[in-house]
Amino acid sequence: MQKLFILACAALVMAGCAKQKDPTMDRSDFVAITDVVPDAILEIRYYSTYNFVGERIDGYEAPIALMTREAADSLRAVSDDLRRHGGYRLKIWDAYRPQRAVNHFIRWAENLQDTAMKRIFYPMVDKSLLFEQNYILARSGHSRGSTVDLTLIDEATGKELDMGSPFDWFGNESHPDYCGNPDNLEYSEQEGGLTSVQFYNRLVLRTAMLRHGFLPIDSEWWHFTLANEPYPDTYFDFPITQTEEQ
């Protein structure tokens, strides 16, 4: 009888632990993008030191890109479309981003003395204004698992399409409506602004992403989120690691 009582108590304890499992650490619905989109090219900037912080970002423990299965499947449709009709491949800079990485960005932004990468990524922006101007936020759509930062590679040349501004550039030049209206495909020439080719290249990416269920934002031409994202209210925090399944 005593043995049965002990086993019952143990079962209750285990059940209680199961109920308390942190949902932000559950990676069961995430996949490596290259498992679903094998044609994708990866350049995971936050795994490297070549980013606006200047060091590897917390949570990036492997140079892979993860997304929810739903988002990855939609990205596969984008990839197939662009390869078939344009001869382009997707190049991924970032996808799922752990909350701990966002927290790393916040700590960096609060340290106004650290401007090592200013010349490359934010030469025209005072670092003290990064929060005020929404370049750094406490929450990121990337942490919900269905957002991706990407560009296009021309298969014929092996080179990135010229988009007119680099990834993670802090400035108006990164806005999709810079030198035109992407909604009606109207280019507006400005002195020192984008060329018509650069504006068109952005539209190639944007149009394909919209066609397959992704939504853009108004500040970054490279950033897209699945419209029907499966976890709109969950900000995941598990680290990006290489697993046996990958």
Q: Is 155 one of the catalytic residues?
A: no
Catalytic pick from 189, 220, 244, 245? Answer: 220
Q: What angle in degrees, to the nearest 10, is found between the helix axes of 196-211 and 69-86?
A: 130
Quote the CA–CA distance of 37 and 65 in Å, as a whole number.
11
Q: Enumerate residues 6+ apart whose C-beta is below 8 A from 217.
A: 223, 225
The DSSP-derived string for the chain is -HHHHHHHHHHHHHHHHHHT--GGG--TTEEEHHHH-TT-EE--GGGSS-SSSSSPPTTB-SS--EEEHHHHHHHHHHHHHHHHHH-EEEEEEE----HHHHHHHHHHHH-TT--TTHHHH-TTS-GGGTTTTTSS-S--GGGGT-EEEEEEEETTTTEE---SS-TT--SGGGSTTTTEETTTTEE---TTS--HHHHHHHHHHHHHHHHTTEEE-SS-TTEEEETT-S-TT------B---TT-
Catalytic residues: 220
